[in-house]
A and B are shown apart, each in its own frame.
Chain A
C-alpha cells in the first residue's frame, strides 16, 4: 500500500512531464498540421544550452531561462528555415525533413559534447519526503508537478482568453478564412512553433535530471511516450494531452514498480496500438465536431 502511494505520486510527476511534452506536440499540430518528429532533438539542443549556461553562470535558474529562450529561438529557426518550405508539398515531406533534422542535431551534439551522460543538477532535493513513515514524493517531483501544471494553465489562458490565442486558434482551424479577416496567419504559425518548442524544451529540462543524465539521446524515449500520449489523447486536444500524460505516467510507474522496468515501454506501445485500433482519432479527438 505504501509502495502504491509512492508509485502514484512519482507517476503523476513523471506523467506531468509527458503531458507537457505532449502538449507541445499538440500545439504544433494545431498550428501547422504537422507531427514534429524533431521535437525531442530540438528540446535536447535547448537542454544542452541550459546545461552550458548553468555551468557558466552557476545558477540553475539562469540556465533554465536560457534553455526556454533557446527552445523558442530553435522553434523560430526550424519553422522559418526549414518547415515553411515543406508545407506546400506532400504531407510526408515535413515528416522526412524532421527526421533528417533529428539525425543532424543528434550528430552535432555528439560531435560537440560527446556521447557520455552528463549529470544535470536539480534545484531541489530528489529524495522523497516522508509522510509518517511512508515515502511520498520528492521536493523536485513537487516542483515538476507545479511547473508543468502551471505552464499548461498559462497556455490554456493564452489560447482561450487573449486576442493572440484567438488568432492562433483561428489560424490553425481555418487558415484561409483567417487571412481573409486580416489575421497574419504565417506569423501565427511561427509563434505556434516558438511556443511549442519552448514548452518542449522546458519538459526536457524537467525530465533529464531524473534520468541517467544528459546525452544526445536523452529525449528519445520522452518523445515516444509523449507522442503516444498525444495520439491517445487526440492530437487536437490539449485536455487529452494533460489527462493522457498523467495516465501514461502513472501506468508506466506502476508497471515499472510491480512488474519491471523493461516491460514499461512495451506497455506504452501496446496502449498506443489499442487506441489506434479502437479510436484512430484519439480519445479526446475533435473530429466529430469538425465534420458536423
Chain B
C-alpha cells in the first residue's frame, strides 16, 4: 500500500432542516467534524440517518441550513460536483450497479479521479484491500453475495480517494464477521489517509467500536453528541435511544 498525504475533510453542518413536503425529517441539525474523525450517527429506523447522509451528498435538498466542506459552502452544489470535491457516499442497500462487472463498478468509481495507469493502480489497491473481489473481477454485480456487494460499494467509494466518506448502514443484512471486517477496513482507511468518516448505523456496538464520537438522532433531532466511549457507557442514554 502506498503512503498518501491526503488529509481528511473538515465538515460543518449548520441548522440543517430537511422535509419531503410534510413535517420535516431533520430539524436544525448542527454537526461539526474534524479532519480524520470517525463519527457514528446512531438512531432507530426513521430517525433521519439516511436523510442526513443523502442531504450531505446532495441527493436531497435542505429547506434550510448550510453544509461546509473545507470551510467552503457546498449546499448549492450538485451531487456529482460534491463527489468531485472529495465527498463519497456509500448509499444503503449494498448499492452496486448490478448490471456492471466488479471491475467496471470500480472503474466507474475511479473515473473522474484517475487516468491511465494511475487508475489501474488505484483499482489494484482495492483488490488488495478486498481479496474476495479480486477473485470475482468479471462477475456482474448481481452475482455477488451481500458481503461482496458491500465490499464493492465501499471499495468503489475508496478508489476515488475521498476526503469525506459517508456510509449508510453498511452492516445491514450481513454476518457479524463480515461486518467486523468492513469496520476494520474503514478504521484503517481513516488511520492511514486521514479520511473523515460519517457512519450511519443501527448496529450501535459495531459503529462505536471504530468511532471517535457518536451522535444520536431521534425523530430528526440530535439528542446526544458525545465521545464513543461515553456513549457506550451511558446506560440511561442507551436504554432511551439505542435499545440495549
**With A169-B99, A174-B95, A185-B80 in contact, do A180 and B59 touch (Cβ < 8 Å)?**
yes
User: 8 Å CB contacts to A: which residues of B71-126?
Assistant: 78-80, 83-84, 88-89, 91, 95-100, 104, 107-109, 111-113
Contact indicator B84/A290 (Cβ below 8 Å): no
Q: Is A256 an interface residue (CB 8 A)?
A: no
Residue of A nearest to B79 (CB): A179
Contact indicator A166/B108 (Cβ below 8 Å): yes
Q: Is A182 an interface residue (CB 8 A)?
A: yes
Contact indicator A173/B100 (Cβ below 8 Å): yes
Q: Is the interface of B mostly helix, strand, loop or mixed?
A: mixed
Name the distance in Å between B98's Cβ and chain A's nearest Cβ. Answer: 6
**With A184-B80, A185-B80 in contact, do A163 and B98 touch (Cβ < 8 Å)?**
no
Contact indicator A169/B111 (Cβ below 8 Å): no
Contact indicator A167/B111 (Cβ below 8 Å): yes
Contact indicator B108/A181 (Cβ below 8 Å): yes
Contacts of A173 in B (CB 8 A): 97-100
Name the distance in Å between A156's Cβ and chain B's nearest Cβ. Answer: 15
- Whole-angstrom distance between the alpha carbons of A181 and B140 in the complex? 18
User: 8 Å CB contacts to B: which residues of A173-196?
Assistant: 173-174, 176-185
Contacts of A183 in B (CB 8 A): 80, 108, 111-112
Contacts of A278 in B (CB 8 A): none
Contact indicator B142/A181 (Cβ below 8 Å): no
Q: Is B26 an interface residue (CB 8 A)?
A: no
Q: Is B160 an interface residue (CB 8 A)?
A: yes
Name the distance in Å between B114's Cβ and chain A's nearest Cβ. Answer: 11
- Whole-angstrom distance between the alpha carbons of A92 and B97 in the complex? 27
Q: Is A289 an interface residue (CB 8 A)?
A: yes
Q: Is A286 an interface residue (CB 8 A)?
A: yes
Q: Is A170 an interface residue (CB 8 A)?
A: yes
Residue of B nearest to A290 (CB): B98
Name the distance in Å between B57's Cβ and chain A's nearest Cβ. Answer: 6
Contacts of A177 in B (CB 8 A): 91, 95-97
List, sorted by A's number, 10 A–B pairs whose CB atoms are closer than 8 Å: A163-B111, A170-B100, A176-B59, A180-B59, A180-B91, A181-B109, A181-B160, A182-B160, A183-B80, A185-B80
